[in-house]
Amino acid sequence: MGHTRLGDLPRTRRWGEVVGLLACGASTAQVANATITAAERGLNLAADDKALVETVWLLTQLPLAARAKDLKGFVGALRQAGLQVSDEPGVMEVVGAFSDAIDARVSNNGGRTDLGEMAQMAASETIAKVLGARTQSLFGTQPQDVQKALAGLATNKQFSEFSRQFFARITNRCLNYFLSRAVTYHLGEGRRFATLAQQAEFSGALEVHCREASKIVEDFSGGWLSKTNFEKGGISRDDARGFAHVAMRKLVDELKAGARPDAK
Amino acid sequence: MPNERAILCGSAPASGNWQAAKSLQLRLDDEVHLTSDDLSRPVSANIPTTFADLIEIATYVYVADQAVTRGGDGVENAGANWRRRLLFTIPVRNLEFWRKADVMTALVETLSFLSEDEYHFEFVDLAKPRPIQHYLPFSKTGMPQAIEEVVLFSGGLDSLGGAVQEVVRDKRGIALVNHRPTEKLSRRYRHMQELLAAKATEVGAPQPVHVPVHINKEKGLSREYTQRSRSFLYASIAATIAQAYDLSRIRFYENGVVSLNLPLSPQVVGAKATRTTHPRVLGGFARILSLVADRPFAVENPYIWKTKSEVVKHITDAGCGEFIKYTTSCTHPWELTKLKTHCGACSQCIDRRFAVLAAGAEALDPAEAYGVDLLLHARAEGESRTMLAAYVETASEVTKQSATEFFSRYGEVGRVVRHLDGSADMVALKIYELYQRHSRQVVKVVDEGIAAHATAIRNRELPDSCLLRLVCDIAIPLSVVSPTAAPATPPEPQLAMEDFVFRKKGQAWVVRYNGKPDFILLPSKGAAYLHLLLSSPRQFLSAVSMAYQVARVPQQFILSDAGERSDKEAQAAYRARYQELQEEMAQAEKDNDEATKKRVQGEMKIFADELKNRGWGGRPKKEHSDRDRVRKAVGIAIRRAVENIAEYDKELAEHFQPPRLCRGNSPVYHPDSDIDWDI
């Protein structure tokens, strides 16, 4: 029980280039570019993943629910969105209810892919990070403070940053999903990563690169939320699907451009 | 749906609903045999027939889980094929019960989370039901003592800890349900049984009853190794035995870190990290069993808040340390021998060894029993090294994380916090503390290993790829990178880079254009041709001559898997060059140029020998065929290299277009203005 097995990258020309660049000491930006290029087809196949769409939709619902005038209204709005929370939810309860709501929506795994799974995890991580920072603690937080923290995300600026954090995480998870199959083949003396510390340094640089690349999403997220919510009186799952598509497309393009010396 | 299968069980007819799916027929006692040893008690009357249905359903699910492959690990299609669509048609005794919405929902929700597949069930009437004794032969000899608890027993460290807890500490009568060990492991298992029995006698506890279960399938049904649904079958059997003894609880003993199984590596997504005893799975089992038993039924994991090292400590503190060496954790049993009882390389072996060392119990689990020493032995390239690196790096990272950092790194915790007793905040805090303890235990083992072998590490006496070398920063700095598998090279002096660069870096090329960030161009013939052209700007070069130069040292320019094609191209280049020399010789004879004749003769001899030695002579071809072939090959290689450059620097790729860079018989690089390339 608890057994884990790890895999390798396919031996195709595209993936061979990723492995070659890692071996030859290419920068994180160039490795990220080659990885996203090699993975693009598979990721495009997964772009309609129900869990990915539900995740993005629920992320938009959190700040909107928190705009309710009181705690009762906030809890009611969360339940309306599918988060089965108690009358006085703390931070970790919201994190757990968020994850369970996606699982309930995509029950029996129909149409789920690894991309949707990564999106779900990235969202849980982003909520824990943002609420943890805003409420000062993950444990024993008052429900009113949770509502206040989430309500603060409804502004253009704050939702943009929230969205950027989420997309940076999903991008980093995606790239590492592939690269972790190759990186440790370059571990050991005389290899690109002589030690585990050097491998961790590369992972850190990749994380920074993903955060930089996701700036492109920050630039339009806040405006999209306000505009769509104002014009349509709420955000539908179709709206969220469209937003997720555009955001992922922009991110892929940015990662490809990010390694180009001619990129802005 | 690419990975869909209709599973027709027993005598079930093909379902009209699932006609489109490829089908698989499974029959108990035909393709699949499920048997158990005597249970020493005539208690079958206590068992509702829904339990017999449950055992058959669980057996079919388990066998189908192994018979239908998952279609790879998901790199090419984001794991779409990993998740199978399994459409079962199963005959049952209690048709009305199994068709109930709440029963169906509990079954589907639990199994789909457990194995991450999509499940659909259609239940039909079972024509010839077998009695439960067919699978669990309760004998009429009577029971030696009362059974107070039914415990799943895998023969590993955690389940031994559970048996010790129940028998030695709590002095309770228990039934241990386990998979019947293979021939290779049966002797070790028997030793453990004997030790446990002797200990029970010593402390005055009832003798534990062992219930080995054996599932025998046709060979062709074992195609998928993941076996995610295995715990459902064992839980079903254990629950049936519990029901026979009027108990309403079964217990899995699994340490919390393995039970929650947060991923060791980013490639482990979803149920690729097993959920065998995940709290949500155990909750789901309890839900199903409560419906089947028609009363509240619990499925517990008493070790959920313990680390494996704490379990080892628990065993040794109970005076059962000598049992440890008879437990088996390794997932590569085919590699095991009498002396080497653990491979030392799989995730289970790594986890076990860290736990034993952290608990200070190495004397009870000798290092000689492991194929690879945890700290000191070289790790083979690939999964063995990757696994160890991921395990240690994860632990090292967690020890440094605050609670917020931990939860913003492991989103998987979100799936746990509402499925254990207590508030979500409290559960989250306990998970954080559990992982902190586990990680500190791992790091402590590594730190103590470093301290004990400091001199050997400093003197580089340990293998390069052993754990203690991998965690110590005494090797080459990251900035100095040598090519894969090449021996370590001394640091190159880091010079300021020119604005225009096209030069070798290891086997590859580093390229920079107009002062922009540099990038790596992987070794290729095209890159080598570009290098030749940039080295001689405004000079018309012979395509044949370029091919010849590159082919003379092919190992520097070609990717390893291009060997055969490059040989053919080199062959053509050699022959074409030989023909050029013949022309030069004719001209020299015409001009009566003795010096040229001498030089050309020398060169021709070299080529003639080379062609002869390598068997490349073959039948002489027409003069134009080889030249054209080489010209085309050189042109295509340059074009591909430029296309590759376009992925990283469009401006440079544009710069390498005609009229600045021309291909053909006489390629030339003719920049608009002079560029001082650092080549």
pLDDT of B184-241, one tens digit each?
Answer: 778 888 899 999 999 999 999 999 988 888 888 887 888 888 888 999 999 999 999 8
Same domain? For B391 and B525 the reply is no
pLDDT of B400-429, one tens digit each?
Answer: 999 999 999 999 999 999 999 999 999 999
Residue B51 distance to chain A (closest CA, Å): 24
Same domain? For B475 and B587 the reply is no
Contact B471 A24 (CB under 8 A): no
Which of B37, B81, B88, B17 is CA-nearest to residue B58?
B88
> Is B382 a domain residue?
yes
Q: Are A247 and A221 in contact (CB under 8 A)?
A: yes
What pLDDT shows up at residue B394? 93
Residue A236 has pLDDT above 90, yes or no: yes
Which of B113, B230, B116, B223 is CA-nearest to residue B177?
B230
Residue B31 — pLDDT band, cuts 50, 70, 90? low
In the stretch 171-200 of chain A, residues with CB closer than 8 A to chain B read 173, 176-181, 184-200
Residue B20 has pLDDT above 80, yes or no: no
The whole-number average pLDDT for the span B93-116 is: 96
Same domain? For B400 and B507 the reply is no
Residue B254 — pLDDT band, cuts 50, 70, 90? very high
Q: How many domains does chain B have?
A: 3
Same domain? For B651 and B505 the reply is yes
Q: Are B78 and B249 in contact (CB under 8 A)?
A: no
Does A261 touch chain B if contact means CB atoms closer than 8 Å?
yes
Contact A30 B416 (CB under 8 A): no
Same domain? For B456 and B569 the reply is no
Residues of chain B found within 8 Å of residue A98, distances taken between Cβ atoms: 414
Structure tokens at A259: 């390694």
Same domain? For B447 and B531 the reply is no
Residue B483 has pLDDT above 80, yes or no: no
Does B156 touch chain A if contact means CB atoms closer than 8 Å?
yes
Residue B475 has pLDDT above 50, yes or no: no
Contact A92 B397 (CB under 8 A): no
| Residue B128 DSSP symbol | S
Lowest mean pLDDT among B48-62, B73-87, B336-350: B73-87
Residue B333 has pLDDT above 90, yes or no: no
Residue B3 has pLDDT above 70, yes or no: yes
Exposure pattern of B354-365 as b/e (b: 16+ CB <10 Å)?
bbbbbbebeebb
How far apart are the C-alpha atoms of B554 and B232, rounded to whole Å? 57
In the stretch 214-253 of chain A, residues with CB closer than 8 A to chain B read none
pLDDT of B357-401, one tens digit each?
Answer: 999 999 999 999 999 999 999 998 878 888 898 899 999 999 999
What pLDDT shows up at residue B28? 80
Q: Which of B36 and B233 is assigned the larger pLDDT?
A: B233
The whole-number average pLDDT for the span B417-442 is: 97
What pLDDT shows up at residue B482? 40
Residues of chain A found within 8 Å of residue B73, distances taken between Cβ atoms: 7
Task: Work out the percent of chain A whose per-residue pLDDT is above 90.
Answer: 65
Query: CB under 8 Å to A140, separation ≥6 — which residues?
Result: A90, B425
Residues of chain B found within 8 Å of residue A262, distances taken between Cβ atoms: 516, 649-651
Same domain? For B21 and B87 the reply is yes
Residue B481 — pLDDT band, cuts 50, 70, 90? very low
Task: Work out the percent of chain B whose per-residue pLDDT is above 90.
Answer: 54
**B629 burial level (CB within 10 Å; 0-12, 13-18, 19+):** buried
How far apart are the C-alpha atoms of B412 and B299, rounded to whole Å? 22
Maximum distance among all Cα pairs of chain B, rounded to whole angstroms: 115
pTM of the full structure: 0.86
What pLDDT shows up at residue B487? 39
How far apart are the C-alpha atoms of B614 and B485, rounded to whole Å? 28
| Alpha carbon distances (Å) from B125 to A234, B6, B98, B122 | 49, 18, 10, 10
- Measured between CB atoms, which of A1, A9, A193 is closest to B154? A1
How far apart are the C-alpha atoms of B359 and B385, rounded to whole Å? 24
What pLDDT shows up at residue B387? 87
> Is B187 a domain residue?
no
Residue B352 has pLDDT above 70, yes or no: yes
The domain ranges of chain A are 13-45+156-256, 49-154
Same domain? For B469 and B514 the reply is no
pLDDT of A136-189, one tens digit each?
Answer: 889 999 999 999 999 999 999 999 999 999 999 999 999 999 999 888 778 887
pLDDT of B554-608, one tens digit each?
Answer: 544 443 343 444 456 667 777 777 877 888 888 888 888 888 888 888 888 877 7
- Least CA distance to B505: which residue of chain A? A24
Most confident of A45-49, B129-133, B613-617: B129-133
Residue A260 — pLDDT band, cuts 50, 70, 90? very low
Lowest mean pLDDT among A33-47, B154-168, B557-571, B665-679: B557-571
- Least CA distance to A9: which residue of chain B? B75
> Is B310 a domain residue?
no
What pLDDT shows up at residue A93? 97
> Is B321 a domain residue?
no
Does B519 touch chain A if contact means CB atoms closer than 8 Å?
yes
Same domain? For B568 and B475 the reply is no
Contact A23 B483 (CB under 8 A): yes
Cα of B385 vs its chain's centroid, Å: 11
The whole-number average pLDDT for the span B616-636 is: 70
> Is B241 a domain residue?
no
Count of C-beta atoms within a 10 Å radius of residue B334: 8
Residues of chain B found within 8 Å of residue A88, distances taken between Cβ atoms: none
Query: CB under 8 Å to B528, separation ≥6 — which residues?
Result: B550, B556, B557
Does A263 touch chain B if contact means CB atoms closer than 8 Å?
no
- Least CA distance to B1: which residue of chain A? A111
Residue A107 — pLDDT band, cuts 50, 70, 90? confident
Residue B622 has pLDDT above 90, yes or no: no
Contact B414 A184 (CB under 8 A): no
Residue B601 distance to chain A (closest CA, Å): 41
Contact B269 A180 (CB under 8 A): no
Residue B446 — pLDDT band, cuts 50, 70, 90? very high
How far apart are the C-alpha atoms of A6 and A24, rounded to whole Å? 23
Residue B488 has pLDDT above 60, yes or no: no
In what side-by-side order are the strands of the sheet with B85-92?
A: B22-26, B4-9, B85-92, B118-125
Domain boundary among B102, B134, B166: B134
The whole-number average pLDDT for the span B539-552 is: 85
Contact B424 A113 (CB under 8 A): no
Same domain? For B462 and B529 the reply is no
- Measured between CB atoms, which of B270, B428, B488 is closest to A92? B428
Bond into B42 cis (ω within 30): no
Contact B78 A95 (CB under 8 A): no
The whole-number average pLDDT for the span B66-79 is: 80
Residue B486 distance to chain A (closest CA, Å): 7
How far apart are the C-alpha atoms of A132 and A212, rounded to whole Å? 22
> Is B624 a domain residue?
yes
Residues of chain B found within 8 Å of residue A20, distances taken between Cβ atoms: 508, 522-523, 559
Task: Work out the percent of chain B whose per-residue pLDDT is above 70.
Answer: 86
How far apart are the C-alpha atoms of A225 and A227, rounded to whole Å? 6
Residue A198 has pLDDT above 50, yes or no: yes
Residue B588 distance to chain A (closest CA, Å): 47
> Is B223 a domain residue?
no
Residue A230 distance to chain B (closest CA, Å): 31
Same domain? For B576 and B659 the reply is yes
What pLDDT shows up at residue A43? 77
Query: Choosing among B471, B492, B520, which should be mutated to test the A contact, i.e. which has the most A CBs within 10 A?
Result: B520
Lowest mean pLDDT among B44-53, B113-122, B133-142, B513-522: B133-142
Residue A82 has pLDDT above 90, yes or no: yes
Contact A139 B505 (CB under 8 A): no
User: Average per-residue pLDDT in chain B?
Assistant: 86
> Is B104 a domain residue?
yes
Residue A179 distance to chain B (closest CA, Å): 8
What pLDDT shows up at residue B619? 52
Same domain? For B348 and B386 the reply is yes
Residue B7 — pLDDT band, cuts 50, 70, 90? very high
Amino acid at residue number B527: A
Residue B82 distance to chain A (closest CA, Å): 8
Does B308 touch chain A if contact means CB atoms closer than 8 Å?
no
Domain boundary among B420, B446, B479: B479
What pLDDT shows up at residue B227? 85
Full residue range of the structural domain in which residue B125 is found: 4-134
Most confident of A230-239, A241-250, B429-438: B429-438
**In terms of residues, how long is chain A?**
264
